[in-house]
Amino acid sequence: ARCVTRDITDRVQAEQALAQFKAMVESADDAVIGKTLEGIITSWNPAATQLYGYAADEVIGKPITVLAPADRVDELAGMLERLRRGEHIEHYDTTRVRKDGTSVEVSITVSPILDSQGRPIGATTIARDITARKRAEQQLLHEALHDALTDLPNRAYFVERVSQALGRLRRDRDYRFAVLFVDLDGFKAVNDRLGHAAGDRLLAEIAGRLRTCVRPGDVVARLGGDEFTLLLDEITGLADGERAARRIQDALAVPVSLAGGDIVATASIGVVLSGSQYAHPEDLLNDADLAMYHAKQQGRARFQVFDIAMRDSAQARVSVEADLRNALERQELRLVFQPIVQLETGSVHAFEALLRWHRPEQGVVLPPEFVPLAEQTGLILPIGAWVLHEACRYARRWQDALPASAPVRVSVNLSAKQLGHPGIVDEVRTAFQDAGLAPSCLALEITESVLMASVESSAALLLELRKLGVELHMDDFGTGYSSLSYLPRLPLQGIKVDRSFVHRIGGRRIDLDIVRSIVDLARTLSLEVIAEGVETVAQRERLIAFGCGLGQGDLFAKPLEPAAASALLAQSAQADRRTA
């Protein structure tokens, strides 16, 4: 018998390799799916069952489109065409559908199966579930484009949406949109009084209310701090922006419960309408911001539509601020002094130091034109310190020049920003000590509205200042919200009757009664009374009849340069000696 033997080592090794490959596929964590070049499923491992929910016998022989959502079917046709050309598809992120109809995010790698001549005869797909990764990416993207406190879109998101709106505007001339800039009024006071946690709750509440003021296609964003912006999409015109601003005002009018009390928030709102003149989102934001700033200047709690003149005003403001920053160093700031006199005798009792800015090319600039800007920029702190020191030095010089006369007093105005500065007590002390001036010869004037903004904190600070030995006067009395219940709690030595009341003396009887009541109130509280804006003899005589002892105004002297103030002081001293 003949025995034929064959070497089957290669076949056995091939079978072993195939078995190993099958075992690897069966145990793989990733779904491995075989298919024909026409997309018919030929193999299906357990991981595929776990990923998609289908058992192998449910899908083998079925088209691969069974796994594709309706909007991805065309995608599969393109992939099969690429496989027929022998191309590989690496780490392609897409969406597939499970047996239960839910979607799953997958990353797939598809490789063609080649015959011995290198021609594609099928394909293998490896799919990995990346749902968790995609969710994490979406969360990171959300956090990158949204505010953590309010979950509103942030500046980056808002700018991108405005950029898209500008792109649409360039394509569609009939398209209109508006940008609103919303800034809460007095938010810092809420933080200071109730704490940052309460401030955060207020911001979150405001964010929720702003959402109710817009349509689904609009955008409400928080730029930061207490600033919010709105994009009103597809509007008919400016009237829609104005209506939205009014809706915001109405929404904010409802009190917010915070720290056991109710707070009514108000906002200043700027409105700007889209137009072909805008090339960049920042241009719209800047103009909306300017309009908001004008609304705030006009009294807050209102809205203002942008006007091109505002841009010119803003540029002028930037110029003023730049010059003001250098005014001290260039010695452009000067003091003038208006006498406060004894109404009966006309003798000089004190001088009020008043600030003037000698701005090159513009001439003399009065405080209302630059002090508010100095307040906003913080420049009032170094300027105010200079005024304190300079006023004290002048008072000391006059005392040295007239040693036989009563010590010359000087009054200096303190702004809200100065009063809120933690170093104000030390600043005042240093000013009179450096000048060698007795503290009793310095009076600090603080407006009624500033003091009444926070009576408790004002009273505590005034007590510290009073311990220095300086006098404290309430300026513009009658224009704010003071009352009999508040005045005794403040350590004041005097009040200044606002010029508006003095001007009306001689008119209606009710005006006379108001001034008389103020003088009587001051006498009851042992406060010195100074009448501001005395311009006529009749006003002076009425004030004397009411018992008012001191006054200042153009009837006696306009604000004087230091040399003229010295001359008036010497003249007053001489007159006092003659009548003594």
Q: How far apart are CA 135 and CA 141, in angstroms?
A: 10
Mapped onto helix, strand or coil, the DSSP state of residue 523 is helix
From first to last of its 580 residues, the chain has per-residue pLDDT tens of 566 556 656 555 555 554 565 655 666 789 999 999 999 999 999 999 999 999 999 999 999 999 999 999 889 989 999 999 999 999 999 999 999 999 999 999 999 999 888 899 999 999 999 998 988 888 888 888 999 999 999 999 999 999 999 999 999 989 999 999 999 998 888 887 888 899 999 999 999 999 999 999 999 999 999 999 999 999 999 999 999 999 999 999 999 988 778 889 999 999 999 998 999 999 999 999 999 999 998 888 999 999 988 887 777 778 888 899 999 889 999 999 999 999 999 999 999 999 999 998 889 999 988 998 898 888 999 999 999 999 999 999 999 999 888 899 999 999 988 998 999 999 999 999 999 999 999 999 998 878 776 667 788 899 999 999 999 999 988 765 455 567 788 899 999 998 888 888 866 777 788 888 889 988 888 999 999 999 999 999 999 999 999 999 999 999 999 999 999 999 988 877 766 5
Sketch the domain layout of the chain as residue ranges.
9-135, 146-306, 331-579
Give the tokens for residue 137: 């990416």
- Long-range contacts from 395-399, C-beta under 8 angstroms, 24+ separation: 395/351, 395/435, 395/437, 395/441, 395/442, 396/435, 396/436, 396/437, 398/565, 398/566, 398/569, 399/437, 399/441
Helix axes 424-435, 380-401, angle to 10 degrees: 30
Give the tokens for residue 363: 């001439």
- Number of Cβ within 10 Å of residue 463's Cβ equals 12
Q: How far apart are CA 477 and CA 484, in angstroms?
A: 12
Q: How far apart are CA 501 and CA 511, in angstroms?
A: 7
393 sits in which H/E element = helix 380-401
Residue type, 150: T
The CATH superfamily of 9-135 is: PAS domain (3.30.450.20)
Query: What pLDDT shows up at residue 302?
Result: 93
Q: Which residues neighbour 245 within 8 Å (Cβ) at sequence distance 6 or greater?
A: 180, 269, 271, 303
What's the Cα-to-Cα distance from 570 to each of 442, 450, 550, 560, 575, rounded to whole Å? 20, 36, 19, 14, 9
Q: What CATH number does the domain located at 331-579 have?
A: 3.20.20.450
Q: How far apart are CA 553 and CA 568, in angstroms?
A: 15
Query: What pLDDT shows up at residue 21?
Result: 52
Q: How far apart are CA 167 and CA 503, in angstroms?
A: 58
Backbone angles phi, psi at 132, to 5 degrees: -65, -40
Q: What is the pLDDT of residues 527-548, one digit of tens each?
A: 999 999 999 999 999 999 999 9
What's the Cα-to-Cα distance from 285 to each of 182, 190, 227, rounded to whole Å? 11, 26, 12
Give the tokens for residue 574: 């001489």
**Burial group, residue 447, by CB count within 10 angstroms (0-12, 13-18, 19+):** buried
* Contact between 451 and 417 (Cβ < 8 Å): no
Taking domain 146-306, whether its CATH number is 3.30.70.270 is answered by yes
Helix axes 308-327, 281-297, angle to 10 degrees: 70
Q: What is the pLDDT of residues 339-361, one digit of tens each?
A: 999 999 999 999 999 999 999 88
Residue type, 114: L
* Neighbouring C-alpha atoms within 13 Å toward the C-beta of 95: 10
Query: What pLDDT shows up at residue 194?
Result: 85
Mapped onto helix, strand or coil, the DSSP state of residue 266 is coil
